[in-house]
Amino acid sequence: MDRRGLVPRRAGLCLSILAAFLFTFPNISFGETGQDGETTSPVATNGEPFPWDKMRLPETVSPVHYDLLIHPNLTTLDFTGTVQIQLEVLQETTVVVLHSKDLQISKAEFIESSRIVPLQVLEYPAFQQLALMAEGITLAKGSRYALHLEFAANLSESFHGFYKSTYRTPEGEVRVVASTQFEPTSARAAFPCFDEPAFKANFSIRIHREARHISLSNMPKVKTVQLPNGLLEDHFDTSVKMSTYLVAFIVSDFLSVSKTSQHGVKKIDQADYALEAAVSLLDFYDDYFDIPYPLPKQDLAAIPDFQSGAMENWGLTTYRESALLFDPKKSSASDKLGITMIIAHELAHQWFGNLVTMQWWNDLWLNEGFAKFMEFVSVNITNPELQVEDYFLGKCFEAMEVDALSSSHPVSTPVENPAQIQEMFDDVSYDKVVFTGACILNMLRDYLTPEAFKIGIIRYLRRYSYQNTVNTHLWDSLTNICQSDSLDEGRLQSGFCSQGKSHSPASKWYTDDELDVRSMMDTWTLQEGFPLISVEIKGREVRLSQERYLKSKDPTQSASFLWQVPLTYITSQSSTVHRFLLKTKTDILYLPEEVEWIKFNVDMSGYYIVHYEAGGWDTLITLLQHNYTALSSNDRASLINNIFQLVSHPHPSGSVWWVMVFKSPILPLSIDPTSVGKVPLDKALELSLYLKRETEIMPVTQGLSELVPLYKLMEKRDMEELENQMKGYIVNLFRDLIDRQTWTDDGTVSQRMLRSYLLMFACVRGYQPCVATATELFRQWKESDGNMSLPNDVSLAVFSVGARSPEGWDFLFEKYRNSLYTSVKSRIKSALSISPLSHKLKWMMEQSLEGEVMKTQDLPYVVVYVSKNPKGYKHAWDFLRANWERLVKKFDLGSHSIAHMVVGVTNQYSTREMLEEVRGFFGSLREETGAGLRCILQALESIEENVRWMDKNLHLLQTWLDRQGPQARAPAPTGA
């Protein structure tokens, strides 16, 4: 029994992040359509009628146990297998329908007692289904049967199913790894199965391999048998009940290191830091959930080719190398933070998602939102030095950017076919499902209190262990937590329930017996968007109103929306957090005395933004200019965000410092500007002036995130004079703070990350003191042939300056090719992509597509990096169009990689000409090549909003910058 994470026989490294999904959904008929428009029965590949016409499987039989044998051949790059599925018959039926994708079925038969019955196999590829039947055979309700199937297929060339991955040893030898990625709908590409999350079963897995390889699966290996043909057969212990998307197996020549957690779970990982972090986090979750980790081991495996960041397969979590491998001498502070957060996310899934699973994919947020939320809870306690509380706010801002579009959707949203399910994992939906889910859970936790929230989620996990859930199961578990049941015995004696809550006289906070958690939270999960709260102070009265915040002006999309909003606020007279539950369109709260200012949404704990009417913004701007520390850094950051959203305003769109903040392969998406128009642009810019004195990471990075997109739009319009005015204003705004940065790795994690953002920004913008230092450090590093140790947190700035010349670019690329450290390779790749050498940018994209020198897994991020570069954005768009069909084949329709490229490449366009060009290309696609993808709708909406924003605000921006004088006229070189 061991718990291990793996590492290939080399000192390689890399970087990234992951996803998952959930909910029940009614069956929809998708039969063939005849000439008269009538829906007809589907037809199998042999021309016979296919006996099932729905995308969802029938509920006539349910799998109980899979006995699976897999034999991958890493030389011929194919695999064979057999599976015996024990079935329980729920309704009398003559046919069994299950999933299969691109598998060659060579034998199918029922086994009942000693009787073996050959089965007819009908295939319907459009639904990825098999129908199995035999003349005269009826399966009786309540009986059990064994279904035996033999199959074969090629190892996938994509990143899904049972696929081929490769890596190169230090000696140059290419080695093959066979690994799985089944979420959401790709287990069916590895073995015939009931590939829906509600069909949970136990799995007994055997794997054939050569002696030079090892194999891994969800459970510990119990024995190895020598076969007559020289192969070995590994037998793995029978798993707990789980969904097919959590099944995993790997055949490789990986090495491993191990350690045992306090709770006795043996663990093997690849790098010492990840190993220590995983043991600590697993012990934390054991204690926090008060439910022991159900398996005897937990492997963490670094996969050389991996599309997302990580995957929570039960007992065998898989990662990009960059998401797991850490070297304290080569990795930055943000590397450490990112790796810890990803491990925390995947281990949280072992309870949220694996132990308790969504009924269907439309409730994906029950898995992903909880895992994202628990990242921050767990890392804050196990690794307080990482200061994760500084970054949760940024995730909520990202979610709101997606949620402010008319193309947004509810957290719980209907999905049906595999492409729609896959889209739940794209950038658009994943931000919504994961970050919005995490943010509304944080809001609910703040509302109920952390102790009550914890009791409720423990109740939820205990009630539904090894089962599937929907939204209402969670809300019911969080309601009436003080009414003890057998699950809570011993937990409610701490005094929480007897103490109750204290309420200020002005509060309309509802007590436990009055609170309907389900009614409240349905308003946040079953309707899209989020509320804008408008506040007006009249003496002691605070007049409140709510409406949907939407970047477009279409009132039909917001009129019927209403939330139950748990408001929090502080005032100039009281730093105590006061609370008020707004359940109607308008309401009034009464203060005990008149106040100079009021700040709602304390520390941005709620998922809403606030507009301060009738001079309210002027009062807060004055406060920031004269006494900004009267508000917390999160309150300051939220004011910056809110006022620019009320202008409205373009999003950072993958600016370099966001890459460094979250270390995710998925860059934040630009949702870009529109005409919300609650606040004029010059008022938002007036608020930004206070940033000259700001020193905290969240307000500084939020300020950059709001201001930089203003000139990014201009870069695509050849407006060099105004563009450089804006760049000069931002550089001057942060000049003093930049000058105080040292070129070291000293300080707290937040201080180090802030240093990285500021120096990177300053160097790319051509701030001469920064460029001079970076140039000298690059010269020394180059003369040492890359052997000189650069401070990790500032090396990206150094590399970016070095990549401006052809000689420096070529030197960096050679170091990229030969480096064994993933974190170093990641920083070099980013620097190469923001070089002004346009022919090099084109070459990078081409090489990433081929996958020999640069991994194809990184192609989406290379393309998007290049698209942000003023010297590369046209090349990125041309590349995307020219290679569209290859990209769709490699990354799959609806995948986050496709969505990331579609939105990332286009979301800084702001001309009508580019809008029509983008609309024309995507409008020419067929359904099978991507027509109608949600990301295309978002891309077009973003460009439309950019055009409107530029038309409305360019003159205002020019006038305001002119008033700032020469300080806003510093020239800046071209660059990303």
* 187 close to 247: Cβ distance less than 8 angstroms: yes
Residue 84 CB-density burial (10 A; 0-12 exposed, 13-18 middle, 19+ buried)? middle
3-state secondary structure string across 544-557: EEEEECCCCCCHHH
Q: What is the mean pLDDT of residues 310-315?
A: 95
Residue 923 CB-density burial (10 A; 0-12 exposed, 13-18 middle, 19+ buried)? exposed
* 339 close to 326: Cβ distance less than 8 angstroms: yes
Q: ∠32-34-40 over CA atoms, to 5°?
A: 45
Q: What is the mean pLDDT of residues 498-503?
A: 46
Q: Please check the confidence at residue 563 and state whether its pLDDT lies above 70.
A: yes
233 is catalytic: no
| Distance between start and end Cα atoms, the chain | 50
* 229 close to 200: Cβ distance less than 8 angstroms: no
Confidence of residue 671 (pLDDT cuts 50, 70, 90): very low
More confident residue, 135 or 504: 135
More confident residue, 322 or 571: 571
Bridge partners of residue 266, in order along the sequence: 260, 297
Backbone angles phi, psi at 973, to 5 degrees: -75, 160
Bridge partners of residue 204, in order along the sequence: 67
* 376 close to 387: Cβ distance less than 8 angstroms: no
* 155 close to 110: Cβ distance less than 8 angstroms: no
pLDDT value of position 663: 33
**Which residue stretches of 883-933 are H helix?**
884-891, 896-906, 912-923
pLDDT value of position 16: 23
Q: What three-state secondary structure class fits 862?
A: helix
Confidence of residue 309 (pLDDT cuts 50, 70, 90): confident
Q: Please check the confidence at residue 410 and state whether its pLDDT lies above 50.
A: yes
Q: Give, as one character, the DSSP assignment of residue 64.
A: E
Q: How many residues does the chain have?
A: 976
Q: Kindly report the number of other CB atoms within 10 A of residue 161's CB atom.
A: 24
Q: What is the mean pLDDT of residues 926-953?
A: 89
pLDDT in tens, 513-557: 457 899 999 999 999 899 999 999 999 999 999 999 988 766 556
Confidence of residue 2 (pLDDT cuts 50, 70, 90): very low
| Sheet of strand 96-99: strand arrangement | 96-99, 129-133, 120-124
Q: Please check the confidence at residue 7 and state whether its pLDDT lies above 50.
A: no
Q: What is the mean pLDDT of residues 735-764?
A: 96
Backbone angles phi, psi at 313, to 5 degrees: -40, 135
One of 346, 547, 694, 723 is an active-site residue; which one? 346
Confidence of residue 429 (pLDDT cuts 50, 70, 90): low
Q: Please check the confidence at residue 668 and state whether its pLDDT lies above 70.
A: no
pLDDT in tens, 577-601: 999 999 999 999 999 999 999 999 9
Helices first, then strands: H and E counts in the chain = 30, 32
Q: Please check the confidence at residue 386 and state whether its pLDDT lies above 50.
A: yes
pLDDT value of position 490: 42
Q: Which helix (H) or strand (E) holds 735?
A: helix 735-739
Backbone angles phi, psi at 445, to 5 degrees: -60, -45
Q: Kindly report the number of other CB atoms within 10 A of residue 265's CB atom.
A: 23
Of 248-257, 612-621, 815-824, 827-836, give the lowest mean pLDDT range: 248-257
Q: What is the mean pLDDT of residues 324-349?
A: 91
pLDDT averaged over every residue in the chain: 86
Q: Kindly report the number of other CB atoms within 10 A of residue 483's CB atom.
A: 11
Q: What is the mean pLDDT of residues 258-278?
A: 67
Backbone angles phi, psi at 280, to 5 degrees: -60, -45
pLDDT value of position 716: 85
Backbone angles phi, psi at 437, to 5 degrees: -55, -45
pLDDT value of position 484: 56
Q: Which helix (H) or strand (E) holds 89?
A: strand 78-89
Ligand-binding site membership of 123 (annotated): no
**How far is Cα 953 from Cα 671, in angstroms, rounded to an integer?**
17
**How far is Cα 596 from Cα 616, in angstroms, rounded to an integer?**
9
Question: Strand pairing of 609-612 and 531-538?
Answer: parallel
Q: Kindly report the number of other CB atoms within 10 A of residue 814's CB atom.
A: 13
pLDDT in tens, 38-77: 456 899 999 999 999 999 999 999 999 999 999 999 999 9
Ligand-binding site membership of 345 (annotated): yes
Percentage of the chain modeled with pLDDT above 70: 85
Tokens of 521: 């939270």
* 861 close to 900: Cβ distance less than 8 angstroms: yes
Question: Which amino acid, one-letter code, is at 832?
Answer: L
Nearest to 19 by CA among 322, 379, 429: 429
